[in-house]
Structure 1
Amino acid sequence: MSNILYLAHEGGWGLNFNIFETNLINLGILVGLLLYFGPKFISKALDERRARIEGEIKEAEGRASDAAASLADAQQKLARAQAEAENIRKAAEETAKAAKDKVLAQGKAEIERLKSGAARDTQTEQDRAIAELRDRVTALALERVEARLQEVLDDSAQSQLIDRSIAQFGN
């Protein structure tokens, strides 16, 4: 007999330790078991594997579509942020230009005000200096006339001048 387990001559079961005989039998049993149970087992294992792979593919596709949606959303947000940044930059440039123009206009107005103030101050100072010179010239002229009159007029000439003035007023 060529089985691993064989019926012993003395009425029992025993083991066959002949490697060559038992390997062929074992191989035959293994092939038989594989042919009988294998298609079901392999089919079931492959179906499970296919189902798992299909699930993973669907899950990956879902994640990919979610990532694509997130990317599109992020790109829209980026575009809006860039547009907002551009609007802010333009507004800042306009504000800076307006502020610059305002400061220049205020500076020009201040310069004109200072010029007119300086011209008024200069004219006032000139008028004051002229008046002061007139007063000084008048005072000097009067002093000279008085000094000259005192030199030229003696007491008798003064009496005659007074009498003549009174006579002219009397007429």
Structure 2
Amino acid sequence: MVENFWLLATEEGGFGLNFNILETNLINLSILVALIVYFGRSFLGGIMSERRSAIEAAIQDVEKRQKEASKALVEGQKNLAQAQATAAKIKSDGEASAKVAKDNILAQASKDIQRMKDEAAQDMTAQRDRVVAELRQQISALAVEKVEAQLRSHIDEGVQQKLIDQSIGLLGGSL
């Protein structure tokens, strides 16, 4: 089968192996490859060396940044813990202050309520005393009117003259 393939490839003008060194320029190709290897080694070696150095520098830079990022992360976590502790302290202080303020407000409200009750009681007492005084005045005025009315109806002119003379006599005067 390989023979048929070989014959088919060479007879049809296709591909095949040519073992004639002069015809295939195998010597020229070998010299060319040797020159490329000889002169290209230093050129490619320099490029590869530079590339290797650049990659090593990049790796070192990345490792350095990674260490700095780790340090920054640790510092950030420490700062976060401090901030949380401070927030908790502020919250507890705020709650304590709120409780004290609440107690003060309740105490002041209690005092205000008691003061209002006392003022209301005093107002009630003062108003009651005023009403009682007005009632006494009205009763006195009514009593005087009633007595005057009774005196006018029961006293005639003779009795009235006698009372006037008696009053003058008591005052020390004579008629």
TM-score band, normalised by the shorter chain? 0.5 to 0.7
User: What is the 5 A alignment of 1:78-157?
Assistant: 78-157=80-159
- Amino acid of the structure 2 residue aligned with 1:21: T
Higher relative contact order (CA 8 A, sep 6+): 1
What is the aligned partner in structure 2 of residue 29 from structure 1? 31
Residue 74 of structure 1: CA displacement?
1.8
Please say if 1:60 is aligned against 2:76.
no
Q: TM-score, normalised by structure 2?
A: 0.65
Q: Percent of aligned pairs with the same residue?
A: 41
Q: Deviations 1:16-55 (Å, cap 9, x if unpaired)? A: xx98432x11332245446766777776665554443333
Taking the aligned partners of 2:70 and 2:163, their CA distance within structure 1 comes to 128
- Amino acid of the structure 2 residue aligned with 1:145: V
- Amino acid of the structure 2 residue aligned with 1:63: R
Count of matched residue pairs: 148
Q: Is 129-138 or 31-40 further displaced after alignment?
A: 31-40
Taking the aligned partners of 1:38 and 1:52, their CA distance within structure 2 comes to 20
Taking the aligned partners of 2:35 and 2:64, their CA distance within structure 1 comes to 41
Residue 146 of structure 1: CA displacement?
1.9
Residue 67 of structure 1: CA displacement?
0.8
Q: Deviations 1:107-147 (Å, cap 9, x if unpaired)? A: 22222211111110110010011011011101111211121
Q: TM-score, normalised by structure 1?
A: 0.67
Aligned partner of residue 135 in structure 1, secondary structure:
helix
- Amino acid of the structure 2 residue aligned with 1:138: S
Q: Is 141-150 or 129-138 further displaced after alignment?
A: 141-150
Taking the aligned partners of 2:68 and 2:46, their CA distance within structure 1 comes to 32
